[in-house]
Amino acid sequence: MSVNVIYGCKFDRVVYRLSVSFFVLATIFMLFATPVTQAQTVDPLVKYIRLLQNDTTFTGTKSSFFISPYSKLRTQNLKLISPWQDRFSEQDHPQRLFAFYTPIIKVGSNSEVAFGQNDGAMWQGRGLNTALSFGGRFEYGPIEVSFRPQFGYSENQDFDLAPNPPFFTFPFELSEYAQGLARIDQPQRFGEESISWFHPGQSWIRLSQWGAAAGVSTANQWQGPALYNPLMMSNNAPGFFHAFLESDGPVTTPIGKLEARWFWGGLQESDYFNDDPTNNLRFITGLTAAFSPSLLEGLHVGFSRSFYENYPDDGLSAGNIFRVFQPFSEDRFSEQVEIDVINQETPQRFQGDVAVRMLSFFGRYEVPEYGFEVWAEWGKNDNSFDNRNILREPVHTRSYVLGLMKRFDLAGHRWLVADAEITQMENMEDIKSNNYPVWYEHHNIKQGFTHQGQVVGAGIGPGSNSQQFRVTLYDEWGLAGLSLNRVINNNDRLFRHYPHITSNQPLIGPRSHWTNQVPQRAPLYDLHETEYRIGGQGVFFLPYHLELQLDVTVSLMYNRYNIYENDIRNVNTLMTLRFQPPGFLR
């Protein structure tokens, strides 16, 4: 076995044998489970609290749900009349010296390909996948120390990789696992062998005083209102080591409540991108802020701005630390350097920025009288050269998220919740303009916006689109949900490289509308990589303080790798078992 997924930690075959035994038990449960949503492992309690907050009986301080981890998201209102009022009535704990976290075991599998989203450090390869997390929190006065490591195993079986070689030639040779035709560190497979991995997980050291807090952390950050595909940051990749300065929960002012988080960290390259050790680390800094005006109850607005760049050879400077406060204008933004860009095997000199910038604005509006909320996020993945360019090309690298959620109160304190979310990351520009930039990819930073081989933002990946609908029933015994998700994968890759992709298609028989009745290659409009994910989710509260979550996703993938009629069906299963006796922290 081999891995260097996080910090190079290895485990022996005992992990594999234990995982197989546990997986057999999990499979028995899954035979009776309700099928789930796209292998997402976000704690269902977070969404539940968000639903509770959007209620006329809610009396606590409301969160914008824009900045995660939520430092002061208390759960005292779980005692309100609601489906889970008895299950979590003891969740809000007074300050104490030490407390254990809920141990969590995850066991799952993929039938045909590697597949998973919003699963943090867990790598869901083909075959068996497991993860375990546990730990505790020490809190004394203003000091808080949280240690919640994660480790696991992936069978990482073989499957067919993208046959197209990388279209862009680099100063270095890419690994065979690098995504075909992409400029991003997003391996299709983590090597040829099974892997074991370790990560510090949702751990941090935090000092809070006078309404502010500072510390260091390896926890994931989730930015913005999206439920499934936030543009900037999510828990799709492992959390990266970072320092932070933030408000200690919402800060009350005469005009409303403010929240903010400023961080500095490092993004690491995976072991499966290239063999160049000089660019394995990237520096990233970002600022997220949210405002909830008191004059318009239920409205939350905010923005997030991030920059990432190759780690400077001479170390960090004040310019790196305060980069988020630099002007938007290209000529005033940062030091300019010349870099080599290889486009269609023709060398060109390009004048570009040292750092890659990302920006998004978002908002969320709650209507507690109807249990209804809407949200939106609009972002840019690259700069505009000047104000004229902003007005002339407003769609340059823009993406957006639109969503809504409605809670229906049923008899017996049950809820029926319907939500929908649209994510549009495909570039709307002509493919010949501005080198056709793609979300999470950039010519300056070859690894793109990734950490250890996974996209830090929306899990659907670069230049992709998603439309998702889910309906969920909440009851005192747990929840059951069904979902349908349509994803167009890597559309920007198709449009950017369509001459190369179409020229390498297999010949197909003539069609009735073809004037030339001879075998031809499929046209561009027949090569979209379209995926339908049909799933379900079940959460069951069991005796002895156990909670079982079952997720099953059937993915129907058409034209995988943009190859005509290269269709596959993958079944992803994931079981999550939580043990939460009284006094344990969620």
Percentage of the chain modeled with pLDDT above 90: 53
pTM of the model: 0.86
CA distance 242 to 215: 9
CA distance 585 to 166: 46
pLDDT(419) > 90: yes
Q: What is the mean pLDDT of residues 394-398?
A: 76
**b/e sequence 79-89, b meaning 16+ C-beta within 10 Å:** eeebbbeebbe
**b/e sequence 198-223, b meaning 16+ C-beta within 10 Å:** bbbbbbbebebeeeebebebbbbbbb
Q: What is the mean pLDDT of residues 304-321?
A: 91
- Other Cβ atoms less than 10 A from the Cβ of 116: the count is 24
491 band by pLDDT with thresholds 50, 70 and 90: confident
pLDDT at position 348, please? 42
Count of positions (residues) in the chain: 586
> 59-69: per-residue pLDDT in tens?
777 889 999 88
CA 386 to chain centre: 31
Enumerate long-range contacts of 59-64, CB under 8 Å, 24 or more apart.
Answer: 61/249, 61/250, 61/257, 62/250, 62/257, 62/292, 63/250, 63/259, 64/225, 64/250, 64/257, 64/259, 64/290, 64/292, 64/300, 64/302, 64/364
pLDDT(107) > 90: yes
- Other Cβ atoms less than 10 A from the Cβ of 20: the count is 14
Residue with tokens 């996974």: 454
Q: What is the DSSP string of 422-478?
A: EEE-S--S-TTSTT---TT--SS-TT-SEETTEESS-TT-TT-EEEEEEEEEEETTE
Whether omega for the bond prior to residue 347 falls within 30 degrees of 0, making it cis, is no
> 331-383: per-residue pLDDT in tens?
433 333 333 333 444 444 344 457 888 999 999 999 999 999 999 999 988 66
Lowest-confidence range among 8-12, 243-247, 361-365?
Answer: 8-12
Lowest-confidence range among 100-109, 162-171, 241-250, 297-306?
Answer: 162-171
Residue from 236, 255, 158, 245 nearest 210 by CA: 245
Q: What is the mean pLDDT of residues 230-252?
A: 94
CA distance 246 to 226: 21
CA distance 392 to 307: 24
- Across 81-85, 179-183, 292-296, the highest mean pLDDT is recorded for 292-296
Angle in degrees, CA 144, 149, 154, rounded to 5: 160
For the chain, the average pLDDT equals: 83
pLDDT at position 400, please? 96
Looking at residue 208, its amino acid is: S
pLDDT at position 228, please? 96
pLDDT at position 457, please? 95
Residue from 107, 115, 145, 362 nearest 259 by CA: 362
Q: What is the mean pLDDT of residues 148-156?
A: 96
Q: What is the mean pLDDT of residues 251-271?
A: 94
Angle in degrees, CA 21, 24, 28, rounded to 5: 145
Residue with tokens 């799933």: 535
Q: What is the mean pLDDT of residues 111-118?
A: 94
pLDDT(139) > 80: yes
**What DSSP designation does 169 have?**
-
Lowest-confidence range among 59-63, 388-392, 403-407, 550-554?
Answer: 388-392
pLDDT at position 16, please? 41
Contact 482, 470 (CB under 8 A): yes
pLDDT at position 355, please? 83
Residue with tokens 């957006």: 400
Contacts of 169 (CB under 8 A, 6+ apart): 342, 345
Maximum CA pair distance of the chain?
Answer: 80
Percentage of the chain modeled with pLDDT above 70: 78
Burial class (CB in 10 A: 0-12, 13-18, 19+), 224: buried
- Is the pLDDT higher at 125 or at 346? 125
